[in-house]
């Protein structure tokens, strides 16, 4: 390493563990340091020299690099603080720090909000997908279900059934919304989805549960515009997919038009039924009809 050698040397222990050391060149790139930082480190940084194919290079420990980076960062921050105080005074420095803290909090809040919106968009897209075939039930309010039907229709395990509405009655009933929620935790998702494909009403109930859950979570964030922003983002994503699918369809239609232009329109041989055979010259050959016979009395 060029420059003064102050701070290099030291003990020979803890240098042979794989992954604990790295070359000074790599350390500078990884920790955003310079060779000057290593040479003038206070306290000094331990260093050993190794060779590869006759070339010598300096090696340092990761732990020392991290500690050096931390010390330099603290010193740089302190210098920046003192420079600001000298320029703006203590009151001016405090005002600058308050503004920076507010900007940092705002940036963090925006990042968190974006992550929330991304997750909620995925949730509401699931609702749209469920509702695309049979729609959404108007409400789950007041709808109940018996234990037998909860197990039969929603595959809810007995030990995961919610609290019944009236435990004193012989035939206990449960809120449908609670049963659907328990069903999602039962681990029978594949069976439930297969069953819902055959039951439009059940699928509408499921879509309503998802929509109610989505709205409830939006309201829990105390952000009045959150739900509107999620709807707008989801609408935009769906519209983008529609445009993409239309472009793909148009490309396929253009391929078909080009095919017809080069080969010609489809002939009767191209549109024959599965029971019709064609010979080598593409002439349609109809299977011979079976001769009718009279059943003996």
Does residue 258 lie in a domain region?
no
**pLDDT tens digits, 30-81:** 999 999 999 999 889 999 888 888 888 889 999 999 999 999 999 999 999 9
284 to 137, 238, 249, 266: CA distances (angstroms):
53, 46, 31, 14
Rounded Cα distance between 250 and 208, Å, is: 35
233 in a structural domain: no
Burial class (CB in 10 A: 0-12, 13-18, 19+), 194: exposed
- 164 is written with which tokens? 């019944």
Q: Residue 189's pLDDT is what? A: 84
In the chain, how many domains are there?
1
Residue 263 CB neighbour total at 10 angstroms: 10
pLDDT surpasses 50 at 292: no
Instruction: Characterize the bridge pairing of strands 21-23 and 173-175.
Output: unpaired
Bridge-based pairing of strands 144-146 and 173-175 is antiparallel
Tell me the residue range of the domain where 198 lies: 135-223
pLDDT at 64: 93
Residue 216: inside a domain: yes
**Which pLDDT score is estimated for 51?**
86
- The residue-averaged pLDDT of 122-134 equals 88
| Better-scored residue on pLDDT, 159 or 121 | 121
Judge whether residue 284 has pLDDT over 70.
no
Residue 41 included in any domain: no
Residue 101 lies in a domain: no
List phi, psi (to 5°) of 22. Answer: -160, 160
pLDDT, tens digit (0-9, with 9 covering 90-100), for 70-124: 999 999 999 999 999 999 999 999 999 999 999 999 999 999 999 999 999 999 9
Specify whether the CB–CB gap between 71 and 30 falls below 8 A.
no
Residue 284 within a domain: no
User: How far is residue 23's CA from residue 50's CA, in Å, rounded to a whole number?
Assistant: 9
pLDDT given for residue 234 in this prediction:
94
287 occurs within a structural domain? no
pLDDT in tens, 213-268: 999 999 999 899 999 999 999 999 999 999 999 999 999 999 999 999 999 887 76
Count how many residues are written for the chain: 297
Closest CA to 12 of 44, 47, 42: 47
Predicted confidence (pLDDT) at residue 282 exceeds the cutoff of 60: no
Total-model pTM: 0.59
Residue 196 included in any domain: yes
The partner residues of 61 in beta bridges, in order of sequence, read 21
User: What does the pLDDT read at residue 295?
Assistant: 41
What b/e sequence results for 147-182 when a residue is b if at least 16 CB atoms lie within 10 Å of its CB, and e otherwise?
A: beebbebbbbeeeebeebeeeeeeebbbbbbbbbbb
Q: What span, in angstroms and rounded, lies between the C-alpha atoms of 136 and 207?
A: 6
Average pLDDT over residues 140-169: 89
Q: Is the pLDDT of residue 289 over 90?
A: no
Query: Residue 16's pLDDT is what?
Result: 78
């Amino acid at each position: 390493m060029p420059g003064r050698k102050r701070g290099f040397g030291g003990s020979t222990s803890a240098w042979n563990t794989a992954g604990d050391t790295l070359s000074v060149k790599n350390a500078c790139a990884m920790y955003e340091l310079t060779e000057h930082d290593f040479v003038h480190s206070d306290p000094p940084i331990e260093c050993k020299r190794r060779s590869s194919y006759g070339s010598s290079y300096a090696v340092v420990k990761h732990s020392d690099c991290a500690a050096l980076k931390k010390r330099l960062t603290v010193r740089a921050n302190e210098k920046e603080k003192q420079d600001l105080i000298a320029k703006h005074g203590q009151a001016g420095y405090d005002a600058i720090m308050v503004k920076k803290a507010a900007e940092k909090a705002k940036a963090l809040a925006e990042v968190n909000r974006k992550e929330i919106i991304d997750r909620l968009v995925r949730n509401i897209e699931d609702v749209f997908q469920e509702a695309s075939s049979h729609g959404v039930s108007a409400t789950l309010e007041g709808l109940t279900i018996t234990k037998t039907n909860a197990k039969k229709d929603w595959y809810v395990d007995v030990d995961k059934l919610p609290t019944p509405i009236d435990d004193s009655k012989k035939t206990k009933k449960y809120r449908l919304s609670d049963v659907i929620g328990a069903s999602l935790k039962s681990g029978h998702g594949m069976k439930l989805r297969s069953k819902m494909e055959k039951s439009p009403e059940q699928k509408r109930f499921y879509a309503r549960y998802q929509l109610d859950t989505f709205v409830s979570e939006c309201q829990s964030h105390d952000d009045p515009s959150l739900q509107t922003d999620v709807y707008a983002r989801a609408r935009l994503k769906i519209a983008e997919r529609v445009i993409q699918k239309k472009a793909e369809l148009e490309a396929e239609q253009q391929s078909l038009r080009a095919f017809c232009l080069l080969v010609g329109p489809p002939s009767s041989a191209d549109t024959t039924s599965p029971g019709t055979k064609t010979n080598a010259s593409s002439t349609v050959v109809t299977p011979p009809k079976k001769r009718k016979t009279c059943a003996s009395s």
